[in-house]
Amino acid sequence: MQETMTLKNKRIIIYIVILIFLLWGIKGIWWSGTSDAKSVSLISETTLRQENLISSLKTEVARLQLQLTKCPHGGQDDVSNLPIIYAITPTHKRPVQKAELTRLSHTLMLVPNLRWIIVEDSETKTDVVAKLLAKSGMQFIHLNAATPKEWKLRAKEPRWNKPRGVIQRNAALQWIRDNVDPGTDGVIYFVDDDNSYSLEVFDEMRNVKGVGVWPVGLVGGLLVERPKVNMLGKVEGWLTVWSPQRPFAIDMAGFAVNLKRFFQQSDWKFAYEVEKGYQESIFLQHFVNSLDELEVKAENCTKVYVWHTRTEAVNLNQEDVLRKKGKPPSNVGIEV
Ligand code: UDP
Ligand code: MN
Q: For all residues of the chain together, what is the average pLDDT?
A: 89
8 A C-beta contact, residue 283 and residue 268: yes
Q: Is the CB of 147 within 6 Å of ligand 1?
A: yes
pTM: 0.79
Q: pLDDT, tens digit, for every residue of 165-177?
A: 999 999 999 999 9
Return the pLDDT at 155.
85
Which of 192, 250, 270, 274 to probe ligand 1 with, by most ligand atoms within 8 A of CB?
192
pLDDT confidence of 39, banded at 50, 70, 90? Answer: low
Mean pLDDT check: name the lowest of 78-82, 233-237, 289-293, 297-301.
78-82
Residue 264 has pLDDT above 80, yes or no: yes
Return the pLDDT at 11.
72
Residue 223 has pLDDT above 50, yes or no: yes
Q: Which residue has the higher pLDDT, 268 or 330?
A: 330
What residues contact residue 235 under an 8 Å CB cut-off, 6+ apart?
Answer: 213, 227, 228, 229, 291, 292, 294, 296, 301
CA distances from 243 to 159, 188, 288, 302, 319 (A): 17, 25, 20, 21, 41
Residue 29 has pLDDT above 60, yes or no: no
Q: Is the CB of 121 within 6 Å of ligand 1?
A: yes
Q: pLDDT, tens digit, for every residue of 63-74?
A: 776 676 665 555
Which of 164, 250, 310 to probe ligand 1 with, by most ligand atoms within 8 A of CB?
164
Distance of CA 31 to the CA centre of its chain: 52
Q: Is the CB of 92 within 6 Å of ligand 1?
A: yes
Q: Are strands 255-258 and 186-190 parallel, antiparallel or unpaired?
A: antiparallel
Residue 34 has pLDDT above 50, yes or no: no
Give me the active site residues, please.
280
If we measure between CA atoms, which residue out of 171, 166, 92 comes closest to residue 129?
92
**CA 183–ligand 2 middle distance (angstroms):** 32
Q: Is the CB of 146 within 6 Å of ligand 1?
A: no
